[in-house]
Amino acid sequence: NQNTMILAIETSCDETAAAVVENGTVIRSNAVATQIDIHRRFGGVVPEVASRHHVDQITVVCEEAMNKSGLEWKDLDAIAVTQGPGLIGALLVGVNGAKALAYAHDLPLVPVHHITGHIYANRFVHELKFPLIALVVSGGHTELVYMKEHGSYEVIGTTRDDAAGEAFDKVARTLGLPYPGGPEIDHLAKEGAPVIDFPRAWLEEGSLDFSFSGLKSAVINYIHNEKQRGHELNPADIAASFQQSVSDVLVKKTMIAAERVHAKQILVAGGVSANSKIRSEIEKAASTRGIPLIIPPLSLCTDNAAMIAASGTIGFLKGMRADLSLNGKANLSI
């Protein structure tokens, strides 16, 4: 059997997911049990609640992924699992599930960094070409990653405070929108215009780092001040203006990074890459510069296990292995 078949498990936040991927490029199955409806009641992810639901769902999604893959356990080459970063209690459920399966079926265990999974979601769309720049924007991360080959990652820009998705979620909450706020803002912004001049944090000349807490505070203060003055708020304009600010900074810095390393590709990844404004602006900017751009389809932008399997396949082929002492890590670096 020439093909590499990997079962991957992902439980770093609020999706319990398992998937089987062939050669890091073909999705045989991709099962996701989302907890979004459960956490919506609390306005955000409650870690302890997340862990319990992972425990409930982990066996179900693993069985579903195996059944739908058409494979048997003996056809697998390895089990890959998200080791971190993420919620520790949530990670532990996936890591322990993966260890149990690896032990029971005598399969190698491959640890995967969640962010590299988001990056490798792009490989289901197009073969990666190096050097490349990946913009990873999610609820917990805002990172520019330089890759000169498969499995090699250098973080060249990161957020100094809030992640982009976190800013979306907090601004949405102030506007009274449900969790998760990103898709809500995206939707609402379509009915408004970016007429309010919110700040853009460019930081020092040449810096590829990000900062979104100033923008978040500016939007929240604007809302409070307008209310205090008795003005009628226009939530659609606020959403559109906030989104424009985020998009301008993300797109500009990604282009600077890509030009700096002479990137052959730009990849966008993570939940925030589902944003329609950011998608269209980054597409425009990349095409103006003649740099090919890949963004995964919506279903692969948010947390899933197929992306963990894709990155895990590269790790597996490079000989990365974990033993049964593997532990989840809330703050794992790439």
Q: Could you list the residues that contact ligand KG4 (CB under 6 A)?
A: 13, 138-140, 165, 168-169, 180-183, 186, 270-272, 274-275, 302-303
CA distances (Å), origin 114, targets 96, 135, 194, 241: 16, 14, 33, 30
29 binds Zn ion, rule: CB under 5 A: no
**Shortest distance in whole angstroms from residue 180 CB to ligand KG4:** 4
Which of residues 218 and 268 has its CB atom nearest to Zn ion in the complex? 268
> Which residues, other chains included, contact 299 with Cβ-Cβ below 8 Å and sequence gap of 6+?
none
Q: Is 118 annotated as a binding residue?
A: yes
Residue type, 215: L
Q: Is 141 annotated as a binding residue?
A: no
Out of Zn ion, ligand KG4, none, what residue 165 binds, judged by CB under 5 to 8 A for its kind, is ligand KG4
Residue 230 assigned as binding residue:
no
Helix axes 164-174, 213-228, angle to 10 degrees: 10
Among Zn ion, ligand KG4, none, residue 168 binds (CB under 5-8 Å by kind): ligand KG4
Is residue 138 within the footprint of Zn ion (CB under 5 A)? yes
Please identify, using beta-carbon distances, which residue of 177 and 285 lies nearer to ligand KG4. Answer: 177
Q: What does 180 interact with, of ligand KG4, Zn ion, none (CB < 5 to 8 A by kind)?
A: ligand KG4
Q: How far is CA 48 from CA 9, 39, 303, in A?
A: 19, 11, 19
Q: Binding of Zn ion at residue 64 (CB under 5 A)?
A: no
Place of tokens 């979601």: 121
- 108: phi then psi, degrees, rounded to nearest 5: -65, 150
275 binds Zn ion (CB under 5 A): no
> Which residue spans within the chain are E strands per DSSP?
5-10, 15-22, 26-34, 78-84, 109-113, 132-137, 142-147, 154-158, 265-269, 293-294
- The entry of Zn ion, ligand KG4, none near residue 186 (CB within 5 to 8 angstroms by kind) is ligand KG4
Min dist. Cβ of residue 141 to Zn ion (A) = 7
**What's the closest the beta carbon of residue 120 comes to ligand KG4, in angstroms?**
13
**Minimal distance, residue 165 CB to ligand KG4, in Å:** 3
- 315 annotated as ligand-binding: no
Among 206, 198, 196, 202, smallest CA distance to 249 is for: 202
What separation in angstroms does the CA of 178 have from each of 23, 173, 296? 39, 7, 25
Q: Which residue has the tokens 């459920």?
A: 93
Residues that bind Zn ion (CB under 5 A): 138, 303
Residues at the binding site for substrate are: 136-140, 169, 182, 186, 275
